[in-house]
Chains A and B, each alone.
Chain A
């Protein structure tokens, strides 16, 4: 079945450092790819997405490009802030066996940003 692999954390950075969180996927066909974020004490929310090869998703200074040739969707941000401290999940959408579209998540990467 489809799966998502992302780098293990935690990742600890100083404010204004460059962030990369690696994500690769295994899938039949070309799924849509997502990054979700979970801030401390809050629910899961979409950060960005890309629905086809070479698409770049972006939001709040974060970017990720759908790379079909390397089956990757790495998350990047040029200058992180303390408020970016959260858990980041790479995910893909796949058609469920009973219809509908379910989400397959990576393991999650916890990011700590120090002032």
Chain B
């Protein structure tokens, strides 16, 4: 079955440590997105990518980095510069316009906590 796989499901970070969250999709979607979900704030966009080797900052990109070396993969690195990284991170993907405006499909998320 096609879908979006995020790993790990739970992740713990020590102070000063970088961690990388994985997102893989086998839906042949063009665009991929990373959101951060905090209670009462909904989903906030961190980064997105519409094409391989290209990505754009979202609303809260500071302290995060991404790469898009392959169409199916969009890993997110939470760097030590992100002072409040404890959150639920969601990856999403979708087809771009051309075949109608498609909804985003979401992974199951990764919950990141600070030790």
Q: Do A and B come from one complex?
A: no
A interface residues with partner B (beta carbon < 8 Å): none
